Structure 1
Amino acid sequence: MQVNDWYSFVPPSSALQSIRSHTDWINQARDRRKLYEASNNKTIPCWFLIESEKDIPSNAIRTGTDVGGHALYSARSWYKDAGLLVGKCRPGLSGAHIALNLGEIPKITPFEVLVGDPSHFKWVAVPEKAKDAKAVAPSAFIGVEAGFENAHRHRASFVSQISLENSWQPGKAHSGDPFAFAGYYLKEWRKDTIRVLAWAD
């Protein structure tokens, strides 16, 4: 999704806007998985449905690292009435863990994990919001759209990561927001240093 100005609201794509319920999401996720499994090209990026944590594929995109140096992956899932939320997963976590409303919701299943060839992606640092018109405008990029929160349905959620206690925790960032968020030990952490996953040039 094209992001010309992070601090303006970038709406979710029409594809995401078509998802209005858990049923909508799970049906689309199952269709995506069938198409992906039928394809011979596993380098194509895709949100891949996981119905058991043992199914996390070997080509899941590493978007973080825990304090022990183990890989963490970006995940998304429909949660109650909150929307299609973005968080993290790895084998051993018993599902996706998603930050929401100052807490972290653990063990959410089913969920989707981002898979594909990591060379398709890059990390983009979002500069602080300009304080005056003379400031240099940030460069545009194509962000990896991941979801939305129903409380803020007018803006897309993107994959992000934040640094916490010698780890990089995968989380979410919303267009128009000066912060990135991630769950860590059942709390939602907020950082004003934003790194967003984008499509490589």
Structure 2
Amino acid sequence: MQQEQWESRYREQQVWSRDPNPWLLEVAAALTPGAALDVGCGEGADALWLAEHGWTVTALDFAPSALRLGRQRAEDLGVADRIEWTQADIRTWRTKQRFDLVSVHFLHGPQPERTAALRRAWELTSGSLLVVGHDTTNATQGHGGPPAPVLYTAQDVLADLDVSGTQVRIAERRSRFTDDPDRIMWDCVVLLQR
């Protein structure tokens, strides 16, 4: 989770597709739109989709170039008034607001950093927390993603958080296809609800 590396990547090219995460679409479709926080929003595909579907979104990333790209797409799509683009690191970002939906997608870093980020995201959740990442099995059975030391499982996410008294709706490994139909990616998907 190095800010300078991500900023350099976003300055040079479009990093992600413009498609929202499929697991977010599944989860958000079952929720009543409200206030959403998109942690590590990147170029904003998830934030844009949420805004287009009635959510008021805070899109959080520490790379200003990513936020600039997302802001421009929001203008182009006519949803700029529904998204607040915020440059910050979730681990140190302070707000009094709580969110009906917090999404943390593909936030990979060393375990102590991941734990701090997920705990802060959970503190800001008044409704649902959706965590999606490359599952540890993706390194040997899947395709793409970061190196094995920063991958995690659903059980790792649950261990990072105090989930006592929480509804664990989803905590599993899920497969999805890449652009190459012969290649599968394995995702860790966790949905918690207060």
TM-score (normalised: structure 1): 0.29
Higher helix residue share: 2
| Higher RCO (CA-CA < 8 Å; seq separation 6+) | 1
